[in-house]
Amino acid sequence: MEYFYIHVVSYYIGNNRDDNIKRAFQQLNNKMVSKKQTENEINLLLVYVIFDELTNDIRAKFEEYKKMENNNTKINILFRWNTGGTVQTLNYAYDYIVNNNIKCKYIGVWEDDACYKNKYFLDIVDNYLKEGYIFVGSLWGNYNGVKTLTPNNSRQVPYLTEKMIYSNIITNNKIEENMYMWCEDPYITTLTNLHKIKEKMNKFTLAPENEIYTHCQHGINYGEVGFPTRLHINGFKFIGLKLDEYFISFENKSIGNKNI
Tens-place pLDDT, residues 207-243: 999 999 999 999 999 999 999 999 999 999 999 999 9
- Residue 171: what pLDDT? 74
- Residue 154: what pLDDT? 58
- Residue 259: what pLDDT? 30
Structural domain tally of the chain?
A: 1
- Residue 52: what pLDDT? 97
Nearest to 137 by CA among 239, 17, 11: 239
The CATH number covering residue 163 comes to: 3.90.550
Give 174-196 as a DSSP string: BPPGGG--B-EEEEEE-HHHHHH
186-215: pLDDT as tens digits: 999 999 999 999 999 999 999 999 999 999
Q: Is 110 part of a structural domain of the chain? A: yes
Mean residue pLDDT of the chain comes to 92
Average pLDDT over residues 148-176: 80
Helix, strand, or coil (residue 123): helix
Average pLDDT over residues 152-169: 79
Q: Is 106 part of a structural domain of the chain? A: yes
Give the domain extent around 54: 2-249
pTM: 0.94
Nearest to 226 by CA among 171, 188, 182, 170: 182
Residue 253 banded pLDDT, cuts 50, 70, 90: very low
Q: Is 210 part of a structural domain of the chain? A: yes
Q: Is 258 part of a structural domain of the chain? A: no
Nearest to 95 by CA among 112, 110, 78: 78
Q: Is 254 part of a structural domain of the chain? A: no
